[in-house]
Amino acid sequence: MHWYEKLNQYFPIEEMKSQEHMELLLKERGDIYHKDEGPLHVLFYVEFDEFVFVDYLFVSKHARGQGLGHKLIQKLKKKGKPILLEVEPVNYEDSDTEKRLRFYKREGFEHATSIGYRRRSLATDEVNSMEILYWAPHNEPEELVYEAMKKTYKMIHKYKDKEIYGASYETVDKVLSMDESKNRDILEHIE
């Protein structure tokens, strides 16, 4: 099965970039946008000098619980940079969301409680909220995570969006917000 089909079957449509968008990033931004693919996994990530952003991580249901996801995350941790990613909030009708959060908590990721992320999907026209998780090897503050997310949004998510989709995603200041008074941690209830 093609890598895009694997991702498309696993991730909700509102979270997916088009295949054209991802292939264009690999071709034109191959200096920072990377694909790591094997028979049982697909990992897309962005590597900047100061951080790594996990765009998509898929592990086949046949390989879950065997340590493959852990090995992929360890490979990224060896770079010695903060690692960021977006996850959908827990949906108690979808056990995968809770399993995903439990996995990242075991891997040492923290919830960026002060960062808000609400983006309108060009595929569905619905606004969906995402949570930002991060791993900080040197206790980097959430302000750094916020600036890294802004950079990722502008350089990766919005990359040639008008050209590819016929419409533009909202500007970064409409999508990402920072509110240091927020203190609702989605990982504190995950065992």
The string of DSSP codes covering 133-159 is EEE-TT---HHHHHHHHHHHIIIIITT
Say which residues have a Cβ less than 8 Å from residue 128's Cβ, sequence separation at least 6.
14, 15, 88, 118, 119, 121
Please tell me the predicted confidence (pLDDT) of residue 95: 60
Buried b / exposed e across 113-144, counting CB within 10 Å, b at 16+? bbbbbebeebeeeeeeebbbbbbbeeebebeb
Please tell me the predicted confidence (pLDDT) of residue 64: 82
Instruction: Share the mean pLDDT of the chain.
Output: 91
Instruction: Tell me the pTM.
Output: 0.91
Q: Which amino acid is at 146?
A: Y
**φ and ψ at 83, to 5 degrees?**
-120, 130
- Cα–Cα distance for residue pair 95/97, rounded to 1 Å: 5
Q: How many residues does the chain have?
A: 191
pLDDT in tens, 136-176: 999 999 999 999 999 999 999 999 999 999 999 999 999 99
Please tell me the predicted confidence (pLDDT) of residue 109: 96
Domains and CATH numbers, the chain: 3-178 (3.40.630.30)
Please tell me the predicted confidence (pLDDT) of residue 100: 84
Residues linked to residue 177 through DSSP beta bridges, in sequence order: 116
